[in-house]
Amino acid sequence: MARYNKIFAGPYTEATPQVAERPAAAAITPGQLIVITAGQFTPAGATTVGKVYVAQDNYLAMEGVDTPYAIGDTVLGLELLDEQFFNVRVATGVNVARDAALVPGANGTVALATAGGKQVVATAEEAFNNTSGSAQLVRVRAAKGYLTAAT
């Protein structure tokens, strides 16, 4: 079960985040990083560069954060804005420290940035050691601009 029950985490005084809607090219779980490929959303991967979105929970169908969108379903993709918080998926076995730089990882999860110039998409707003055995949600804030990890 997920640690959080919403993907958009505030602040409540901000207008709702900007949303893009596209059909799912693959099963997409809320909280995954996603990209637009051939007009459809697909999970971001470790080699992703460019604009990423976060898959919103399917509140229109009254689904929770652990219910994936099926192939062909319309996915709500939240645009990462640096003044807002989001809960994104971190893979099992990843130990995230507060303020850690995060990059796209495998299957739409975030990974810790390492030297090598990979695109940093977010910074962690909490410390979390994922020993749960499944991808979990961790609170992040979008990185300002498209930064890269130190080389």
Burial 56-91 (b: 16+ CB within 10 A, else e): bbbeeeeeebeebbeeebebbbbebeeebbbbbbbb
Enclosing H/E stretch for 140: strand 136-148
Residue 77 exposure: Cα atoms within 13 Å on the Cβ side: 24
- Do 21 and 40 touch, CB atoms closer than 8 A? no
Count of residues for the chain?
151
Could you read off the pLDDT of 17-40 as tens digits, one per residue? Answer: 789 999 999 999 999 999 999 999
Tell me the C-alpha distance between 148 and 140, whole Å. Answer: 17
The confidence band for 86, taking pLDDT boundaries of 50, 70 and 90, is: very high
pLDDT of 150 over the 50 cut: no
pLDDT of 63 over the 80 cut: yes
pLDDT of 149 over the 80 cut: no
The predicted model gives 11-15 an average pLDDT of: 66
Closest CA to 34 of 10, 50, 13: 50
- Among the ranges given (6-15, 51-60, 103-112, 125-134), the one the predictor scored with the smallest mean pLDDT: 6-15
pTM equals: 0.85
The predicted model gives 103-120 an average pLDDT of: 87
Residue 2 confidence (pLDDT):
73
Tell me the C-alpha distance between 13 and 16, whole Å. Answer: 9
| Whole-number Cα distances in Å, 47 to 1, 5, 24, 44 | 28, 29, 20, 8
pLDDT of 151 over the 50 cut: no
